[in-house]
Amino acid sequence: MSTDVALNETVVAAPAPAREATAPSVSSLPETVIRPRRGWLAIDLKELWAYRELLYFLTWRDIKVRYKQTVLGALWAIIQPTLNMVVFTLFFGRLAKMPSDGVPYPIFVYAGLLPWTYFSHAVTQAGDSLIGSQNLITKVYFPRPLIPMGAATAGLVDFVIALTVLGGLMAYYGFVPSIGLMLFPVLALLTYILAIGVGLWLSASNVKYRDIRYAIPFLIQLWMFCTPVIYPTTLLKKYAWIMALNPMGGLIEAFRACTLGHRPIPWSSLSISCIIVFAVFMGGLIYFRRTERYFADVI
């Protein structure tokens, strides 16, 4: 006996294909053209202050990169000026018999190397800072002067660490700090402002002319021999007034005078240096603002 089983088949109709969205034509899309702002770009100090936390992070980034994967770490801040002091003492103090205003040559040259080492490192790092921050400049908006300012600020850590050697030399040679030492923070601030000013000039020029990065070490070395780091201004005699046109010359002489107390503070040359420092800083900031509109295009 055979039994037929009828299977009920359910037929489901396929849904109708959805209507494809028609892409808008290229000609109907809005066109956005980004051009550099014309005219004068004002210096907005309030904006720089509003981004002060970014300056902190840029500074901390430069400090970590500087000592990343180093064995001695922050000791390099002491080693470099100390070794320079030893070399200059042997060749200029012992062999060339360089005068040192009646103080031992090691502490004389180190008191000059301390601000100069900070200034040269800050200018070198600030001059190349924009090239190293290419991704930030082309993708994110923020006040561009913060980049060279962060590079100059990071060097202050080495400057403070290297002060310990100067304190040890003063104790060894019996130099007692005088009331003139109260001028030291002001001189450090002026050196910091000058380093930022020169760094603004060089970093802005380095974006367009990459030869600047190769010229910076030569310019720094030449500037050092034009600055009373390894010799006193009294050695120049009647030409010592020319040294007043070098802002680092007046600052270094004032550094020595306020720390060692071996001579009065040269207020005349220091006043000229202060004027030149602020002129260099304002000129660098104005030049930086005039050229930064093209940074993202040529960096």
Residue 224 belongs to what domain range? 66-298
Q: What is the mean pLDDT of residues 61-77?
A: 77
Whole-number Å distance between alpha carbons of 167 and 206: 38
Residue 67 vs residue 42, higher pLDDT: 67
50 is a domain residue: no
In a domain, 269, yes or no: yes
Asked if the structure places residue 8 within a domain, the reply is: no
Q: Mean pLDDT: which of 40-44, 91-95, 275-279 is highest?
A: 275-279
**Domain count across the chain:** 1
> Would you say residue 274 lies in a domain?
yes
For residue 151, is it within any domain? yes
Q: Average pLDDT of 67-86?
A: 81
| Predicted TM-score (pTM) of this structure | 0.82
Dump pLDDT digits (tens) for 6-51: 434 444 444 545 444 555 555 666 765 555 555 556 667 788 888 8
Q: Is residue 200 part of a domain?
A: yes
Q: What is the pLDDT of residue 262?
A: 84
In a domain, 56, yes or no: no
Could you give the 3-state DSSP secondary structure of residue 255? helix
State what percent of residues in the chain have pLDDT above 90.
38
Tens digits of per-residue pLDDT, 226-260? Answer: 898 998 888 877 777 777 789 999 999 999 999 98
Average pLDDT over residues 262-275: 89
Give tens-digit pLDDT for 176-196.
888 888 899 999 999 999 999
For residue 49, being part of any structural domain is answered with no
The pLDDT of residue 180 is 82
Backbone torsions φ then ψ of 36, nearest 5 degrees: -60, 145
